[in-house]
């Protein structure tokens, strides 16, 4: 029998990977034997039950459910199941009115056992560094609070330098941890998109910004917000506040002390678009494609004085991707930069 | 009645020492426990007004200490603040948010720690 006359079920049975196809209601439409071998699921359970009800399938269910719920086109995750590490790729297939999700499962156990050892090792180092830093941070801050009036100007300066360097160590450690989570594919466990108020997120970011950045930029008059700030969007509140902080901090840092920073918000049926525009030094044409790359720092006068690691825009892009949104930048040297974010819009009743 | 008795349960001796020094200076009566078993005993005998609880401890970890505190009628209503260098996942925060009163991530500043403690001690008083 030639391959042209095979049924779809015959065809997937011969593939060397596990395949499970879900309908939009999370019911199993089709699967092959390799998927049963890899996942260890009972065939009757798979056909008769919603997978959320099958014991031990929680992580698998959460991957599929969030993929279908947030309308991603494709996604990949390594899931620990049946004493194996399974690499699961999801792909959405739309034809006419039906929308199905194909999950392709491969065994990634040998690669992932090593990866797990590396992950545990780095996690332990990060935790071990954080504990003494916690004692240092609280003790130095305590000293500066109680001793402020009792020590000489030189001692006060030494204490103030110590605080600022301890804070810098904390920031470096936070960045390393975040980089580790993103590169190990663990970042998603700390990001859960849900309906949130856009105005609250922007407020959070502005409050942090005006509480932390240098006095030169502490001019709230520079911010101009227009459009629908009362929107409800689907995002992780803490991470989105961080993203706005990063973009607004850059907009302030790379433009003149009185130059405006504009935030405009618009939406169509399912997408919110937020544009952050500054009139600063801009980014050169040859460098613009690198700005979301980790450790990339453009060679400009502002960066010569700054202490960052070149990670913030890489983090912003990684987080926004995990929220099923997008980030883009257009810029012209000496004219300014425009960052455009898109995120899914949520129903306001859920806030 | 004084509402200032705070118990810290943490396996790091210097965290115990520095945190209780800071809180003593701000007028709190401090109790310290170097592991979960000691912490549970002290919580039952001293009934503090608030507990600061580390998560990653040898022997019995913070989540298990929390479960035992909530099972015991003597300690069930004491406010508990999770106090850890470990980053909690959104699943953990969701699962335990009804049982704990707050989360403080180490490192912390004294001002932030005191603000959070006062908030929860006042709440349980009212």
What number is the average pLDDT over the span A279-298?
85
**Is B110–A127 a contact, with Cβ atoms under 8 angstroms apart?**
no
Q: What are the extents of the domains in chain B?
A: 5-125
**Is B107–A136 a contact, with Cβ atoms under 8 angstroms apart?**
yes
Rounded-to-integer distance, Cα A130 and Cα A137, Å = 10
Rounded-to-integer distance, Cα A316 and Cα A305, Å = 22
pLDDT tens, residue by residue, A40-61:
888 887 777 677 777 777 777 7
Which of B94, B95, B110, B111 is the mutation pick for testing A, counting most A CBs within 10 A? B110
Q: Which regions of chain A carry the CATH code 1.10.287?
A: 111-187
Q: Which regions of chain A carry the CATH code 3.30.565.10?
A: 192-344
pLDDT in tens, chain B (126 residues): 567 999 999 998 999 999 999 999 889 999 999 999 999 999 999 999 999 999 888 899 999 999 999 999 999 999 999 988 776 666 676 777 788 899 898 888 888 999 999 999 876 665
pLDDT tens, residue by residue, A303-314:
655 666 788 899
Per the CB < 8 A criterion, the answer to whether B15 and A134 are in contact is yes
Query: Is the model's pLDDT at A186 over the cut of 90?
Result: no
Q: Which two tokens stand for residue A148?
A: 């402020």
**Is A138–B91 a contact, with Cβ atoms under 8 angstroms apart?**
no
Question: For residues A108-142, b (16+ Cβ closer than 10 Å) or e, as one string?
Answer: bbeebeeeeeebeebbeebbebbbebbbbbbbbbb
Rounded-to-integer distance, Cα A165 and Cα A309, Å = 15
pLDDT tens, residue by residue, A248-271:
988 988 888 788 999 999 998 889
Q: Is B22 at the interface with chain A, CB within 8 A?
A: yes
User: Which of A144-148, A281-285, B7-11 shows the lowest per-residue confidence on average (mean pLDDT)?
Assistant: A144-148
Instruction: For residue A118, give the nearest of A42, A188, A185, A196 by alpha carbon.
Output: A185
Q: Facing residues of A76 across strands?
A: A89
**Is B111–A145 a contact, with Cβ atoms under 8 angstroms apart?**
yes
Residue of A nearest to B15 (CA): A135
User: Which chain B residues are within 8 Å of A146, Cβ to Cβ?
Assistant: 25
Query: Is the model's pLDDT at A349 over the cut of 60?
Result: no
For the domain spanning B5-125, the CATH number is: 3.40.50.2300
What pLDDT sits at residue B90?
65
User: Which of A42-46, A175-179, A218-222, B38-42 shows the lowest per-residue confidence on average (mean pLDDT)?
Assistant: A218-222
**Is A145–B110 a contact, with Cβ atoms under 8 angstroms apart?**
yes
Q: Which member of A131, A133, A146 has the closest CB to residue B25?
A: A146
Q: Is the dihedral of CA A189, A190, A196, A198 positive or negative?
A: negative
Question: DSSP letter at A345?
Answer: B
Question: DSSP letter at A69?
Answer: H
Task: Write the CB contacts of B90 (distance below 8 Å, at least 6 apart in sequence).
Answer: A189, A190, A191, A192, A236
**Is A142–B87 a contact, with Cβ atoms under 8 angstroms apart?**
no
The architecture in CATH of the region A192-344 reads 2-Layer Sandwich (3.30)
Q: Is A138 at the interface with chain B, CB within 8 A?
A: yes
pTM of the model: 0.62
Query: Which class in CATH covers the domain with range A3-107?
Result: alpha beta
Report cis status (omega within 30 of 0) of the bond before A137: no
User: Which chain A residues are within 8 Å of B106, Cβ to Cβ?
Assistant: 130-131, 134
User: Which chain B residues are within 8 Å of A59, Cβ to Cβ?
Assistant: none
Query: Is the model's pLDDT at A351 over the cut of 60?
Result: no
Query: Is the model's pLDDT at A344 over the cut of 70?
Result: yes
What pLDDT sits at residue A350?
37
**Is B18–A192 a contact, with Cβ atoms under 8 angstroms apart?**
no
What pLDDT sits at residue A324?
86
Q: Long-range contacts: B41-46, Cβ < 8 Å, 24+?
A: B42/B7, B43/B7, B43/B69, B43/B72, B43/B74, B43/B75, B43/B78, B44/B72, B44/B74, B44/B75, B46/B5, B46/B7
pLDDT tens, residue by residue, A74-113:
778 888 887 788 888 888 888 777 888 899 999 888 777 7
What pLDDT sits at residue B46?
96
Side-chain-side CA neighbours of A242 within 13 Å: the count stands at 19
User: Which chain A residues are within 8 Å of B12, Cβ to Cβ?
Assistant: 131, 135
Residue of A nearest to B86 (CA): A127
Q: Which regions of chain A carry the CATH code 3.30.450.20?
A: 3-107
Q: Which of A144-148, A317-321, B6-10, B118-122 has the highest mean pLDDT?
A: B6-10
For the domain spanning A111-187, the CATH number is: 1.10.287
What pLDDT sits at residue B88?
66
Question: How many CB pairs lie under 8 A apart between chains A and B?
Answer: 58
User: Which chain A residues are within 8 Å of B25, Cβ to Cβ?
Assistant: 142, 146
Residue of B nearest to A171 (CA): B107
Residue of B nearest to A178 (CA): B87
């Amino acid at each position: 029998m030639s391959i042209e006359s095979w049924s779809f079920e015959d065809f997937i049975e011969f593939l060397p990977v596990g395949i499970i196809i879900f309908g939009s209601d999370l019911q199993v439409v089709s699967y092959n034997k390799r998927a049963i071998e890899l996942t260890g699921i009972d065939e009757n359970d798979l056909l008769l039950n919603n997978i959320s009800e099958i014991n031990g399938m929680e992580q698998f269910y959460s991957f599929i459910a969030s993929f279908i719920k947030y309308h991603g086109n494709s996604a990949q995750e390594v899931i620990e199941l049946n004493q194996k590490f399974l690499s699961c790729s999801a792909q959405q297939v739309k034809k006419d009115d039906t929308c199905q999700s194909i999950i392709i499962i491969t065994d990634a156990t040998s690669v992932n056992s090593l990866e797990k050892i590396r992950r545990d090792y780095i996690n332990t180092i990060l935790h071990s560094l954080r504990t003494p830093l916690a004692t240092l941070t609280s003790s130095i801050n305590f000293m500066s609070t109680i001793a402020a009036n009792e020590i000489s100007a030189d001692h006060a300066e030494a204490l103030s330098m110590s605080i600022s360097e301890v804070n810098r160590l904390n920031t470096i450690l936070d960045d390393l941890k975040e980089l580790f989570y993103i590169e190990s594919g663990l970042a998603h466990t700390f990001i859960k998109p849900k309906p949130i108020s856009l105005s609250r997120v922007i407020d959070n970011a502005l409050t942090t910004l005006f509480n932390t950045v240098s006095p030169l930029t502490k001019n709230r008059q520079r911010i101009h917000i227009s459009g629908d700030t009362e929107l409800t969007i689907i995002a992780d509140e803490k991470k989105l506040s961080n993203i706005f902080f990063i973009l607004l901090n850059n907009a302030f840092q790379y433009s003149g002390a009185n130059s405006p920073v504009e935030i405009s918000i618009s939406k169509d049926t399912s997408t919110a678009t937020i544009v952050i525009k500054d009139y600063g030094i801009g980014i050169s044409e040859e460098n613009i494609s690198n700005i979301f790359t980790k450790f990339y720092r453009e060679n400009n006068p502002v960066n010569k004085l700054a202490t960052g690691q070149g990670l913030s825009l890489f983090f912003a892009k990684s987080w926004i991707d995990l929220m099923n949104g997008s980030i883009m930048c257009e810029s012209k040297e000496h004219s300014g930069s425009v960052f455009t974010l898109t995120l899914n819009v949520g129903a306001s009743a859920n806030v | 009645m004084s509402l200032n008795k705070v118990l810290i349960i943490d396996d790091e001796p210097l965290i115990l020492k520095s945190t209780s020094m800071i809180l003593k200076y701000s007028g709190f009566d401090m109790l310290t426990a170097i592991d979960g078993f000691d912490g549970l005993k002290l919580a039952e005998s001293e009934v503090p007004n608030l507990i600061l609880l580390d998560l990653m401890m040898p022997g019995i970890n913070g989540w298990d200490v929390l479960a035992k505190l909530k099972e015991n009628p003597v300690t069930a209503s004491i406010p508990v603040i999770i106090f850890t260098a470990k980053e909690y996942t959104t699943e953990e925060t969701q699962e335990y948010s009804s049982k704990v009163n707050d989360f403080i991530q180490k490192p912390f500043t004294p001002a932030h720690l005191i603000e959070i403690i006062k908030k929860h001690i006042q709440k349980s008083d009212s």
